[in-house]
Amino acid sequence: MLDRYSITLIRQPLAKLAALPDNYGISANQITLFGFVLGLFTLPALAFEHYSLALFFIIINRLFDGLDGAVARRQGITDCGGFLDITLDFLFYSLIPFGFVLADPQQNAIAGAFLIFSFIGTGSSFLAFAIMAGKRNIESPVYKQKSLYYIGGLTEGTETIACFVLFCLLPQYFDVIAWIFGSLCWITTATRIWAGYHTLKN
């Protein structure tokens, strides 16, 4: 829901920052992989309940995720880069609730499992429509700079990051936040299925 606004807000600063790695011959795919590796440190930080450190790695991962797209737009967007980016994004997203489950299985396990289940809904509806839209050469009217059709919803990337920040700031309420955000994810999934089906049908 908020991605169209956040993307507009950060596009110019990231475009300027992208000149640095581009000038040194660093590819967008290298930035994607490096950001993902840094993001993996979020898991042990969460598991050992170092929530400030986990938040640091989440922010760093998301900064690299924005930077790789800016570099890709300078160097040329590729299918392999888009594939790598979206795959590692979804893996990183599911890593966060798993980390909280490891931190406190007794309190967080069911809520964490529900949130990962919800991510399966948002992720599969997102990617399945992108595949079909690609086959029919349907382009997104809003996210034209993306390498695949970016179908929106109530819970997009911006909302997900905000949720992760809340998790780290209020870890004692992880289960409550996870149930609420997971429910919102299912609203997103339902609207994507409805909109995607009717778009392809027509």
Nearest alpha-carbon partner for 19 in 63, 74, 64? 74
Asked if 65 is an active-site residue, the reply is no
DSSP output for 32-95: HHHHHHHHHTHHHHHHTT-HHHHHHHHHHHHHHHHHHHHHHHHH---HHHHHHHHHHHHHHHHH
Q: 194 CB contacts (<8 Å, ≥6 apart)?
A: none
CA distances from 193 to 59, 94, 108, 124 (A): 30, 21, 29, 10
Return the DSSP state at 172: G
Q: Using CB atoms within 10 Å of the CB of residue 8, give its burial: 0 to 12 exposed, 13 to 18 middle, 19+ buried.
A: exposed
Catalytic residue among 22, 89, 104, 175: 89
CA distance 123 to 126: 5
Structure tokens at 190: 């339902």
Longest dimension (CA), the chain: 51
| Residues labelled catalytic | 89
